[in-house]
Amino acid sequence: MLTDESRNPMENGPTTPLESLRQRRFLISAWPWRSLGYLLTTALVAAAVGVPWLILGTPWLFALHRLTSGGFQPVESRLGVVLFGTLLGAVLIAVCGPLIGLPVAALERRRLRLISTRPVESGHARVREPGPWPWLRTRYTEAATWRAVGYTFLLVTAAPLLYGAVLLVPLLILTLLAAPFLVADGSGPFEIGRITIDSAASARWAALVGLLLFPLVPYLLALLAGAHGAVARLLLHRGADDRLRAELVEVAHSRARLVDAFESERRRIERDLHDGAQQRLVSLTLQLGLARLDLPAESPAAGPLATAHEQAKQAMVELREIIHGIHPQILTERGLPAALAELADRCPIPVTVQGDLSGRLPGHLEAATYFVVAEALTNAARHSAATGVRVDLARQDGQLTVRISDDGHGGADPAHGTGLTGLADRLAAVGGRMLLSSPPGGPTLLQVELPCPR
């Protein structure tokens, strides 16, 4: 959902207190009241958040205290305590900050509707997996969370100072207005700055000034609420980059899902063929074989039956190859190293497979890697005139790297329909990439890199 940021705010009325200030009807609009409501609730929220935040900030306050007190002792003697306090405070805030910041941000986004007619949306990514760990991992690693922590920090530090400074003026005006009553109830003279109000006359003057200045109050309220709202929107509303990143993640996820679906579909087809057509064909061939036994050799049917038997055997071999091409059984059952060893065996040129992959990889990675190696070996055998191929597997830092190198005459070009292009697409869909170096004269090196979480 896109918000149209570019439209003229004056067309459909102001969207924030700051915009409403420029309207002639400002004083009789709802904006002053909305601003007032916002400011009052801010005070409540800040007070409520202040308590846990103060607890988190204690080590810092303590460090500050140690740094500034202590008279004429050299600072060095207190440095250890100060450093420790600072570090502890930082750790506390890093660990617990989001736990306070996230609910505060959610509340503040709702509260922002008081003074904003534009929608406010969170910049948080959706957590796709259930359970606390994925949630924590997602939340603690996204910018929106730390912006929320920053906002919370401002809410309990900068906001009270700013509010205090700005709200002094309305307080002064209200005091001026109240001057006649304050003097009348006999509490005697009082001072505002350098002006002393001690008589009914001066109190009337003060009230008059207060009355003249009174229209300033709504403006100030709207100004303050507008400024706060702008900061809140800046920090808590999702930015364009957040949205883009969320969408990219979304797209990557959907592509990965597609590849997964594709992979499981292939496995299903493999299983269906294996459990259905293949079994039937083997059994048919067996029956033909049995029929041949009991048919005298001179029978006219013997020849055709023998042919049928041979053809059925041929069909069995072909179907097995087809099933193997769809999804090798050995890959499903025994994983990548075994399947690659088997590929190496089937290759007409000598292949060495090196590398240790402990444990099974996710199915789509195994399949992607397997088919890349299969294609590379086919190409090497068919076009390169190589005398040997090496396949190296390495898995570290969350990446699986597969290098396929041969000593052939090179000149492989993905553009010439070697089937590599399709494989590169397939790899891209699971977040991997393929690098090819094949100068004329060789050697050819194909490197595949796949993200491979532990």
Partner 1 sequence: MSPVTRVVLAEDGVLLREGLVGLLDRFGFTVVAAVGDADALVAAAAEQQPDLVVTDVRMPPDFTDEGLRAAVRLRHDRPELAVVVLSQYVRPGYAAELLESGDGQRVGYLLKDRVVDVAEFAAVLHQVVAGGTVVDPEVVRHLLRRRRDPLARLSVRERDVLALIAEGRSNASIARALVVSEAAVGKHVGSILAKLDLPPTEDTNRRVLAVLAYLGSGAGSSAD
Binding site for partner 1 (CB under 8 A): 275, 279-280, 282-283, 285-290, 292-293, 309, 312-313, 316-317, 320, 329-330, 333-335, 337-338, 341-342, 345, 350, 352
Query: Token pair of 206, please?
Result: 């003060």
3 state DSSP class of 384 = helix
- For partner 1, the closer of residues 344 and 428 by Cβ is 344
CB of 289 to partner 1, least distance (A): 4
- For partner 1, the closer of residues 287 and 299 by Cβ is 287
CB of 240 to partner 1, least distance (A): 49
Instruction: Please give the full DSSP string across 227-287, using - where no structure is assigned.
Output: HHHHHHHHHHSPPHHHHHHHHHHHHHHHHHHHHHHHHHHHHHHHHHHIIIIIHHHHHHHHH
Q: Which H, E and C letters describe 20-86, residue by residue?
A: HCCCCCHHHCCHHHHHHHHHHHHHHHHHHHHHHHHHHHHHHHHHHHHHHCCCCCCCHHHHHHHHHHH
Q: Please, are residues 145 and 102 in contact by the beta-carbon 8 Å criterion?
A: yes
Residues 6+ apart with CB under 8 A from 89: 56, 57, 58, 59, 60, 63
CB of 316 to partner 1, least distance (A): 6
CB of 283 to partner 1, least distance (A): 4
- For partner 1, the closer of residues 196 and 311 by Cβ is 311
Number of H helices, E strands in the chain: 15, 7
CB of 284 to partner 1, least distance (A): 8
CB of 314 to partner 1, least distance (A): 11
- For partner 1, the closer of residues 45 and 308 by Cβ is 308
- For partner 1, the closer of residues 276 and 422 by Cβ is 276
3 state DSSP class of 433 = strand
- For partner 1, the closer of residues 331 and 368 by Cβ is 331
> C-alpha dihedral over 57, 62, 64, 70, to 10 degrees?
170
Query: Token pair of 202, please?
Result: 């001066």
- For partner 1, the closer of residues 245 and 390 by Cβ is 390
Burial 157-184 (b: 16+ CB within 10 A, else e): eebeeebeebbeebeebeebbebbebbe
CB of 312 to partner 1, least distance (A): 7
- For partner 1, the closer of residues 292 and 409 by Cβ is 292
- For partner 1, the closer of residues 4 and 294 by Cβ is 294
Pairing of strands 195-197, 351-354: unpaired
CB of 239 to partner 1, least distance (A): 49
Residue (of 161, 163, 156, 157) closest to 50 by Cα position: 156
Q: Please, are residues 58 and 89 in contact by the beta-carbon 8 Å criterion?
A: yes
- For partner 1, the closer of residues 244 and 290 by Cβ is 290
Q: Which residue has the tokens 């070996």?
A: 377
CB of 341 to partner 1, least distance (A): 5
CB of 450 to partner 1, least distance (A): 19
- For partner 1, the closer of residues 297 and 317 by Cβ is 317
CB of 261 to partner 1, least distance (A): 22
Pairing of strands 389-396, 195-197: unpaired
Residue (of 134, 60, 44) closest to 97 by Cα position: 60
CB of 332 to partner 1, least distance (A): 9
Residue (of 386, 360, 398, 397) closest to 446 by Cα position: 386
Q: Please, are residues 114 and 34 in contact by the beta-carbon 8 Å criterion?
A: yes
How distant is the alpha carbon of residue 232 from its chain centre?
A: 22
- For partner 1, the closer of residues 250 and 310 by Cβ is 310
| Burial grade of 313 (CB within 10 A; 0-12, 13-18, 19 or more) | middle
